[in-house]
Each structure stands twice: as C-alpha cells, then as structure tokens.
Structure 1
Amino acid sequence: MTVRPSHFSGLARRRSFTSKLRRQDFSAATLRATAMVILVATFVRLGLAALLDPGLDEVYAMAVAKRWQLSWFDHPPMAFWWVKATREIAKPLFGDDVPVLVLRLPFVFAFTITSVVVSDLTCRRWGPRAGLWTVLALSLAPFFMVSAGSWLVPDGPLVMFLSLTAWLLDRILFSKLTPASEGRLWLAAGLTLGLAGLSKYHAVLFAVGAAVFILATHHRRRLMTPAPWLAVAITGLVVSPVFVWNLQHDWVGFLFQSSRGVGSGGPDWSGLARSALGQMAYLGPWTLVAALAATISMYRSKGSRAGPAAFLAALGLPSIFVFTAMPLWGGDALPHWQMPGWLFSLPILGHAIASLAARRHQSYRLARGIAAIAAAILGIAIMIVTVMRYTPPSSAFIARLGLDPFLEESFTWRGLADNLAQRGLLAPVTTPQDRPLVVAFSWVEASRLAEALGSRATVLVFGDDPRGFAFLADSAAWIGRDVLLIGRPGSFARGLKSARPHFTRIDRQAPVAVEIGNEILFEAEVAIGRNLVSPYPLPYPQP
C-alpha cells in the first residue's frame, strides 16, 4: 500500500487547526474567568462598602471635603474632589448627610477599572492565563480589596490613574505604532500621570521610575520627538492646582509630607520591622514573597532587562525601596505607602505563574493552593467583620482584650448626637449660620465628631495638629458665642487647659455615652466654653 505525502500534510494541517481551536477555546475560557473574578470582586467590595463603618481616614475626608479647594493640607485634591462631587450629586436624594455607601461608589468602580486595565496590560504581553493570575493576586490582597478598592482615600484614584499611565506607556514602548498614534498616546499618558499627581504625591516616584527606565535603555530614542516633552508639560499643567494652593499657604502641604520622611535619632529598627510585616499583611505574605522572587528572577535574565517586565519593575521599585528604607534614617514607615509600587509587581508574578503552568511545574500547584488559602482567609476575615458589625462585642470583652483605643477610632460614634440633643446641648439648626461650633482637641477625634454630628454642627480643632480642619472655617466667626467642647477622656483635660484662655469661663458637663451595639464604648467628656473671646491660633499659614 502506498501512502501519498499529501495524506501526511493534510493530517498535520487538521491537527494544527484542532490545536489552534483548543488554544482559542482555552483563551476564551480564561478571559471569561478573568471577567468573572473582576465582577465577583466588585460585588464583594460593594458589600464591604455597605457593611463597614468608615475608617479614620475616610471620616477625615468626609469632614474636610465640605467645600471646593485647589488642594488640601495633607494630600492633593482628587479623593476630596470625588467625595465633594458625589455629595453634591446625591444631595437632592439624601440631603446634606449622604450615606457613606453612596460616597464610596466612585472608589469601588474606580478599582474595577484598575483591575481591567492591569489585566489587559498583562494579557497583552503574556497571555490570558497571566492576566487571570494577576487579577487573582490583586483581588486577594487585603489592601487592594478593601482600602484602595472601596475606601474614601487617595489610593483608589492613585492606582487607577497610575495603572492607566502604565498601560499607555507599555503600548508606546513595546508596540509597533505610527508616529501619529504614538504622539497621541504620549499626550494621554501625560494627562493620566497628571491626574495621578492630583491624587497622591506617590506619582512622583512612579515618574522617576519611568524616566530612569527610558533613559537607561534603548527606548531613550523616543525622547527625540516633541510628544514626550509635551506630555511632561501636560502633567505639570494638570498638577498645577497643588502648587498654587501650596504657594498660597507657604508650601505647608509639601513641608508636612516631607517632614514625615525626615527622621532623627538614627535607625528605627522596630519601625523597619513593622514596615516589613505591615507590607506582608496588606499584600499577603505569600504574594509579597512570590512577587519579589519573580522580580528578582526577571532581572537575572539578561534578555529581559529592557522588556515589559523590567519596565513594570522600574515603575514599582522606587516606592517600595524608598518607603521601606525610611526607618533607617528615623522616618515614618506606614506600610500602605509601598502598595502602589507592589501593584506593578503583580503582572510579573502573574507572568511567572503562567509560565510555571505552561511547563506543568509542581510550583504551579503550590500557587493554586496558596490562592485558595488566601481566598479562604479573606472570606473568614469578612465574616468576622460582619459579625462584629451586627453583633458587637461586650464592653467587658473589649476591656479584657484592650480594644478600647482601636474601636474608639475605628467605629462610628453612635448615640453621641442623639444623647447630646436629649440633654439640650445640640440645638436644632434652621440655617447654616445657626450651626453651633463643636471643638475637638485632635484631628482624629474631630473626624469622628464630624461624622457623628453631620450637618448639625461645624467641627474645628483647637490644638497643634489640626490638619485640614484648620482651613474649613475661622473660629473668629463664633466670637461672643458659646462653644461645645468634646473629647475622649485621655486628651480632654490637656485640651481644656490650652483652650481656657479663649473663653470667659468653661463649664464642665456630665459625660455623654458613645455606644457600640447595646453597650457603651466610652463616655465622651463634654464642656461648654462660655463666650469665645479670641480665635484659637492655628499652626499653619492662612491664605
């Protein structure tokens, strides 16, 4: 029997076609799985947004975003603008006191955009499986799921605009484009980087990483055209409101943030340990270690030092290195500062896991197991928070575990406004001019007071660290009027001592209960400052 060569070539073509169809089916299924992960994560974040009391930074944002400003004391304006804009849009439905869930909605959906952008960037470079693993790692990281993913903090807008900038730059550097298309992408990248700069000062380190990568590789030839420099100009124009506001206030915002990184007294080794452990908690220890290992492995491969993975590493490493090293010279070490840097290590991790899966390496099974464990831990944590929200612990249990300070700052001060009103200390307000002035002695307590009292009072801080409350109103407007002074027991006596010269006299009142469930969380100290005779001096320059 004679077998013709055309028989083998036809069989090979059929097998090739079948294999191609299987790959297409697998890719389509993987993309559907990625979309499902993003959708489920969005619904989980919406549930958390409805469930969780606003955190301290959130109630601070709600308190100080009462009027339009070019910038704010401690952060650029984007997150505060979102809060203010959402409040104005929702005011016809909810009145002055818009629910925190409604205020959180833009932040929840912004992170959905972040997830889609990071997934698409990864998928375009390394395939659908890498994109799926990147989204899984992103969605299972506690910081990105909860804080950056739904809270009223600058990190949500920041990571969205940084991811968009990275997506645009990736296309510019690693795709074949016409000069016109490349020029438009440069201008778009300048816009998104400027919007990131309006979100948080971290954008500077992202820009440094991008510039170093471009200058250190063959991509620097792209700087020979006008488009990149026009992009830089657009970035500067977009972030100009931050500079204008700081110029009007003697650069107080820049000075405040820079002072947090300048320490004294030598290395703070305990701070360094807290920073490392905090990053593990926020990202997940398995994710952090695996992402770090994947990045190191990438740099050991000489052929990829100018490729997409090296580019993403260059975007993220400056934030990770700088903020982790701050305790070495005595600076602050808040672990969430490094998280925007770790965001860009997750596509590298996704690529590494996908490569292991393609080789059927046993480490891939380990990665699947760790992802399942991370999802289970996150689910258990959400269940615990749900139980605490609807079945709060008893006061005896709180005291036994020493949770009082944490809960006083982390939970809404329920019952305070109603208890004050019942005792005649918080009169009904008919016009904004009639609002009483309520004074706290720290920005932390002022934030919780502003949340609890809503539109029924104006809250200011009498103290040496009022943060953004210093720019909300001038206490001189209440000269000749009585002022309500409220605070937690620990700081109240010290605050009264500093406030006493500004009143004719101060009358102490009986404490007012702040409740958690059916229990008393603590009793707030209360006093009435009679006849404000002089405004409290503020530590920051006024415009």
Structure 2
Amino acid sequence: MNAIPPASRAGRETTTRPVVAAPYAPDAGLPWPGLARLPAWLRLADPQVAAAVAIISAFTVLRLLAAAWVGLGVDEAYTLAISRRLALSYYDHPPLHQWIVHLFGDVLGYGRAARLPFVLLFAGSSWMLFRLTRHLFGARAGVWAVVALNLSAFFSVIAGGWVLPDGPLIFCLLAAADQLARILFPAPAALGARASGSMRAWALAGIWIGLAGLSKYQAILYAAGLVILLAASRADRGQLKRPGPYVAALIAAVIVSPVIVWNAQHHWVSFLFQGGRGLPGHGLRPGGPVVAFLGQAAVMLPWVMAPLVMALWRPGPAGWGSRRRWFCLALSGPAILLFTLTPIWGQASLPHWAMPGWLFVMPLAGEFMARESAVKPWPRTWAALSFCAFLALWSFVVVEAATGWLGRAWPAVFTHGDPTLESVEWTSAQVLDHSAVMADPGLFLIAAKWNEAGRLVEAFGARRPIVVASSDPRGFAYDGAPGSLVGRDGLLVVERPDAETTLARLRPCFATVQPAGSVQFGRQGSPEVRLETFVGRRLSAHCAGLGTLPPR
C-alpha cells in the first residue's frame, strides 16, 4: 500500500511506491482479475495504464450504444434547439456545451449523433481522473477511481453520454486539478525546473478553470475551494506571493468574459435565474440535508456512494493531515456542503448539483479501495457485483427507453407515468408538414412550454420561428425580435392535456383560433404522445411580446 509520509519542512510530500511481497502478480490490487493481462495487441508497458484504458474503452462502448438507441431527452432537445443560434452565452447556462453542438452541427447534425463529442469527452474525463489520482496516490488508486466514476449512474450515464453542460464541466475541472496537483505536489524529477514549469502549469490551470466557467456557474465553487486551500495551508500559502495564481485568475476571467458581456446586455438574467434557485424558501427544513444527501446517493447509486463516504472518514497512512487529502477535500467541499445544506432554508436542491464536488472524492475513494484491496478481498467483490448491477440497470433502462415495452405490458408498474417517455422524440410530428396550413411560408409555431418548443425544433428544424406561450420561455425568448410576428398566423402544437389552458391564453392574441387536426405517435407504434394543433389567424399587436420574458 502507499506510504505517504508527512510534509517536510519545505511543505513538500513525497510518495513511496507500494511495497508488495514477492511473488508479485501484475494485476494484484486491481478491480478485476486479468485487466493487466490483455491481448498482446492491446498490452501497454504499464499494467495499471492498460487496466485504466480497458475500463474506459469498455464503458465508452456502452455509452455509444445507448447514444444510438435511446431518444434525446427533453433537456437535450432544448439544448440542441437553442444551439443552432450562436451567441456569447445563453439563458440557462454558460455557452460551452452549446458551442460544441454548434461547432459540430454541420457534420453531426442536431439529433442523437450530437452526443458523440460528449461521449468522447467523458472518456477523456476518465483518463484525466486516472492521471490526477495516479499523481496523488499511485496508479492502482487511479484505476480504482476510474472504476468508481464509471460505475456511478450520474457520471457514467448522464454526464458521460448526454448533451448537457456537466460533461464539459467535469473534463475541465479535472484537467485544471491535474495541473494544480503538479504545482503543489511536484514529482521529484520536476523539482529542479519548478519555477518555469509552475508558471506554465498555472497558466494551463487558468485556461481549464476559465473553460469550466464557460460550462457551468458551479465552477466558481471550485475556484473558491482552491483559494481557501492556498490561504489556509501553511505549506501552500507561499503560492499567493508568486505571480502564478494571479496569472491563472486573469486568464480564467478573460475566458469567462463572454458570459459577463452577454449577461450585462440582457439585464443579468442568467445570473438571476440560476442564483434565484438557491434563495430562501418558506420556513426551515432541518431534515432537508438528509433528503438532499439521499438524493445524491440515489443518482450516484448507493453502492457507489458507500466507498466514497468510507474514504472520507478513513484517511490513508498519512492521516488527516495529508496535504493531498486536503487538496481533494478543498476542491470537493464547497459544492457538497452548499447543495446539501441549501434545503435547510426551505429551497429545493437537485441531486446533480453536488456532483462536481463528489467528483473530487473519487481520488480519495481510489486510494481507499487500492489500500483495502491489497489486504482484503471485499473491494474486488464490490467491483464485480457493482459492475453486474450497473450492466443490469443499464440494459433495463436502455431497452425500456428505446421500446417502452414495460409500460405497455404492465401499465400498473408506472403509477405516475413512464419516466422514459421523456426520451420519445417528436420527429414523427413531421407529418404535419404535409397539412394545408403549413403551406403558408409566414406561419410560425407556438409551443405551450419551453421543453416542448425544443421538441418542435427537433421535428421541424429551424425553418420557422417558434415562440413559447408561457411566462417561462427560457432561451427561446431571445430567438427573434419582439413584434416581428404581428399580423402573421401561428400554429399551436400542444399535448392534449394542456390544450385548453393554452388556448385560453392564446385566444385574445388572434383574430380567430381554429382546430387544425391532431397527430399521435410513440415507440413501437404505440400512441404515447398525442398532439393537438390549432391555427391562430393574424397575431394582434397587443400580443407582440408573445414568447418573450416578462419584465423583472
């Protein structure tokens, strides 16, 4: 196991290699036997590197299969819709994931193939986690960290395979941490060239932190953790007397500047939207943090969360004073604490908000599992059972999302509706293109909700303007000039349960509103989605702001 002596007077830590009694098997301490004994054409010089590459490759194949088989979720359809318009930033999030979609739009299109860069990016994130953990705690710990990351539902399935801002955020945070670890814990061979190498590493860290800020606003918590670490650690405080951290901060600020400029031009609407989600609600909820943590464990998978929690409470040989341990805790703590404690003051906290924090518990879990696996059999048993459970769950969810067989065979299973209905794409609504009303080139489309507007773009592309007839149009509020649709006809496409409510809102805006037919579609030919259409003639001037955000 790794022996990590306390910091020296200079504030440095050195790491000795694991001591293993002979005879020594090359896959000793790895999660699954045989990982280091790959076929000759796959074999790498380092068995731990070979194991990490094999694990990353296997899970990447699973993600590619899921990306091809499962329809786009509502958030993905919305993201792909607003990404067709290139902007400095967007209403919901900073722009990096939309820029990625837009960059590859001409090649990959705006369907399921748009997931490909995000799947490959998560393969890169897994490798970055291996590099980071190997540098901090050794290669075997790196392999175990990669296993934990890829067995977790949120990271492996959602962040790792969907068109969401979490994928770029995770990669950029890990890449920044990899550079920071090399600054704060330089390898012995790099000590002589520390000054020039440190400045280069700080610049790279600034680039990656800036790109993380272009991915999601949560990057500010990562930066806060880094500042706290440098200010509180006696060994690292000297960095604040050098130019490196300030160069990194300047670079990061320049990279994030498009987000600042866009928000300044739009009344800080994105900051207000995201910041408002954490404002105090009604009354105190002392049990809120427990519920929040259980939600985080659920999206991670409870049996994956368990070794992470154990790693937090069972430090390695260097004890609680290990600088490497505190490095991980500083980067993870702000997000975990903030989003776990937020429910105390009555505001909801979505489970995935804390995941960037748990990401940096992965190296600690890797070190813990590598240490345990050297003397106990349970980590390998855990890895085998966890992989079987993951594969079973993955197969079930992918098949159900792609076919909907369970909901058709046993409707009573989903008492509140099949959650995989969100993956039913609306491309079948293209049949409406052949209706007489669609012959009008000036016709615009109306959706009842922002997520349904994303589905309409999925079906009809960007050929026609789309407005959202609600007080929450999200990014669609910025797709056109207010008033440009006055006098034109609009086609409302709405799910049947919402038809009457939406019609009551729209009738005063048009001279007449008439039914224009219906369409239904679903997986395997089942009528899972039922859409009603209504045509409104001549949009009135007093509704010129239809689809825009209400004044704040």
Bin for the TM-score computed over the shorter chain = 0.7 to 0.9
From 449, 455, 465, the equivalent of 1:448 is 455
User: Quick check: 1:101 aligned with 2:112?
Assistant: yes
Matches of 1:25 and 1:406, distance apart in 2? 41
User: Quick check: 1:79 aligned with 2:97?
Assistant: yes
Matches of 2:411 and 2:515, distance apart in 1? 28
From 200, 206, 230, the equivalent of 1:184 is 200
Matches of 1:400 and 1:348, distance apart in 2? 39
SS at match of 2:534: strand
Other-structure match for 1:45: 63
Matches of 2:386 and 2:437, distance apart in 1? 49
**Structure (1 or 2) with the larger CA radius of gyration:** 1
What displacement does 1:326 show?
Answer: 1.5
Matches of 2:216 and 2:306, distance apart in 1? 26
Matches of 2:27 and 2:408, distance apart in 1? 57
* Contact preservation (8 Å) 1:441, 1:462: yes
Matches of 2:412 and 2:452, distance apart in 1? 20
* Contact preservation (8 Å) 1:252, 1:540: no
What displacement does 1:515 show?
Answer: 2.4
Q: What letter corresponds to residue 57 of structure 1 in structure 2?
A: D
Q: What letter corresponds to residue 488 of structure 2 in structure 1?
A: R
CA RMSD across the alignment = 2.6
| 1:395-449 CA-partner distances (Å, limit 9, x unpaired) | 574476345473443321252221x234434349xxxxx3631111211221222
Q: What letter corresponds to residue 549 of structure 2 in structure 1?
A: Y
Which segments of 5 or more consecutive residues in structure 1 lack a partner in the other structure? 1-16, 91-97, 429-433
Number of equivalenced pairs: 508
| 1:21-70 CA-partner distances (Å, limit 9, x unpaired) | 95878683232111100111111111111111111111110111111101
Matches of 1:533 and 1:273, distance apart in 2? 51
From 382, 385, 389, the equivalent of 1:373 is 385
Q: How does 1:435-474 map to 2 (within 5 A)?
A: 436-474=443-481
Other-structure match for 1:226: 243
- The percent of aligned pairs where both chains have the same amino acid is 35
SS at match of 2:518: strand
Matches of 1:342 and 1:119, distance apart in 2? 15
* Contact preservation (8 Å) 1:249, 1:541: no
Question: TM-score if structure 2 supplies the norm length?
Answer: 0.86
Q: What letter corresponds to residue 536 of structure 1 in structure 2?
A: G
What displacement does 1:514 show?
Answer: 2.9
Other-structure match for 2:396: 384
| 1:279-308 CA-partner distances (Å, limit 9, x unpaired) | 112212122122122112239x88543511
What displacement does 1:72 show?
Answer: 0.4
Matches of 1:40 and 1:60, distance apart in 2? 29
Higher helix share: 1
Q: How does 1:333-344 map to 2 (within 5 A)?
A: 333-344=349-360
Distance 1:446 1:271, change over 3 A: farther
Q: How does 1:390-539 map to 2 (within 5 A)?
A: 391-393=403-405, 397-398=410-411, 401-402=414-415, 404=417, 406-418=419-431, 420-427=432-439, 434=441, 436-474=443-481, 476-534=483-541, 535-537=544-546
Please, which moves more after superposition, 281-290 or 60-69? 281-290
Please, which moves more after superposition, 239-248 or 533-542? 533-542
Which segments of 5 or more consecutive residues in structure 2 lack a partner in the other structure? 1-18, 29-35, 37-45
User: Quick check: 1:283 aligned with 2:309?
Assistant: no
Q: What letter corresponds to residue 545 of structure 2 in structure 1?
A: Y
* Contact preservation (8 Å) 1:391, 1:517: yes
Matches of 1:467 and 1:64, distance apart in 2? 10
Matches of 1:165 and 1:200, distance apart in 2? 15
What displacement does 1:194 show?
Answer: 0.4
SS at match of 2:112: helix
* Contact preservation (8 Å) 1:414, 1:516: no
What displacement does 1:223 show?
Answer: 1.2
| 1:350-374 CA-partner distances (Å, limit 9, x unpaired) | 101111123x13xxx2222222222
Other-structure match for 1:246: 263
What displacement does 1:99 show?
Answer: 5.1
Matches of 1:79 and 1:424, distance apart in 2? 37
Other-structure match for 2:129: 118
Matches of 1:466 and 1:405, distance apart in 2? 25
Matches of 2:451 and 2:525, distance apart in 1? 24
Matches of 2:418 and 2:538, distance apart in 1? 33
Other-structure match for 2:12: none
Matches of 2:252 and 2:73, distance apart in 1? 31
User: Quick check: 1:318 aligned with 2:334?
Assistant: yes
